[in-house]
Structure 1
């Protein structure tokens, strides 16, 4: 991840455009091999945040929740890395080897040659890479009904 985005921080996003903007800032800083884990309750804004990341990375395709397909690949329009947007919840809930299940999806791009954004990724995405950015989204802590508080930290697993 480029130094243009802080490795740790917190920001309140009072609405969807602010959530998109924060995601876009992160997307512009992401590089090949980066893993971003999104953690938050249902409806917290994980997919909305990923839409901003996709805009910052300048990738193709409409970003929607990957719940029913497990993972979706979005190719770069500017020669950058692809975005692999995945729903790790379904992989963890499958009762089988989640990394084997992910590999069986036959994505066109190898995971280490893309940026991986994993919704519900706690517990799985950490296995993909030693270094990852964990983004926790909390709707309860916001100052108004539509606000979301995003807290993130860069993690290194030994």
Structure 2
């Protein structure tokens, strides 16, 4: 578990995570309203070198951000308003998955069938401060790489 004191720290951790992600990677972001999911995604976008700005796709459901550096694009999805897996299927995320880094906010319970290899990130905000904690769980090929990833995110 990582602790980030400010939104800028959350963005910086996201940037370091983005440096480690590539085409085919699926990231599932969980956390309450205001926990920092979009802020984390902004940092990931910076680390990937994508065209931005990254904003919450709550009302458009999904946004694609092409790479500016010849790397993977970012597909940013907000599944909060989706009624279930059938609506998620309509987005054709599995088509983009092999060519992009796909981040799904509020995707727990909906996207697990997209890939057995995924990072599950849970952000928790402390209501008394701007601080947030990040819990990472790796599934599939990420399971054995989580410790190394956490060390990188901590700047070690």
Q: TM-score, normalised by structure 2?
A: 0.83
Report runs of 4+ in structure 1 exceeding 2 Å deviation. none
1:1-158 aligned within 5 A: 10-91=1-82, 93=83, 97-103=86-92, 110-140=96-126, 145-156=129-140
Shift in Å, 1:63:
0.4
Structure 1 unmatched ranges of 5 or more: 1-9
Q: Which has the higher helix share?
A: 2
Structure 2 unmatched ranges of 5 or more: 142-156
Partner SS for 2:80: helix
Shift in Å, 1:96:
6.5
Please give the alpha-carbon distance, in whole angstroms, between the structure 2 residues aligned to 1:49 and 1:64: 11
Please give the alpha-carbon distance, in whole angstroms, between the structure 2 residues aligned to 1:100 and 1:32: 20
- Alignment length (residue pairs): 141
RMSD: 2.1
Please give the alpha-carbon distance, in whole angstroms, between the structure 1 residues aligned to 2:19 and 2:44: 7
Please give the alpha-carbon distance, in whole angstroms, between the structure 2 residues aligned to 1:100 and 1:154: 23
